[in-house]
Structure 1
Amino acid sequence: MSALHTLDVRLFEALAGTRLSPAERDRAIDLCESVVAMVPDLDLGHPGQAARCGAHLLLADVVPGLDPRVRSDLARLCEVAVVKGL
């Protein structure tokens, strides 16, 4: 199983109990994948923290109906994915 697929599975699991539309879930997943893909290419002192903060802020803007706890869970998954090199 590829690392990106593992991230997708975890993101889908975190979003499973939400009341988001399928389009909103897809936007949240695409956003998280983009953050995880982008952050390692940037020259940052704390890439995991940057991924978490960036995902948190972008999710709040792009998917405003997302529960804050779920948003934090997704942001944390992005952080872990960057730190572990997914």
Structure 2
Amino acid sequence: MNTCLATDAVFQSYGRCCASERFFEDFYQCFIRRSDAVRTLFANTDMAEVRQTTGATMARCVDAGHRHHQGGILTRNPERGG
């Protein structure tokens, strides 16, 4: 699969995941159930904030990769820590 097709597939796949309001909630429930150590690490964590942050970060990464392979220009933005 060429790189452009792969990034399109990732973009579309992530879009399908985000169509479910429970995607990140289900992901973290499964993740935390897998290990007592992970459960302990997340014991006193605001999971709503974690899900929101994860979603925003994933969206940025997927969008940046998609734009890059569609001919967009990625630049560093010092105001955003980039």
Q: Which has the larger radius of gyration?
A: 2
TM-score (norm 2): 0.37
TM-score (norm 1): 0.36
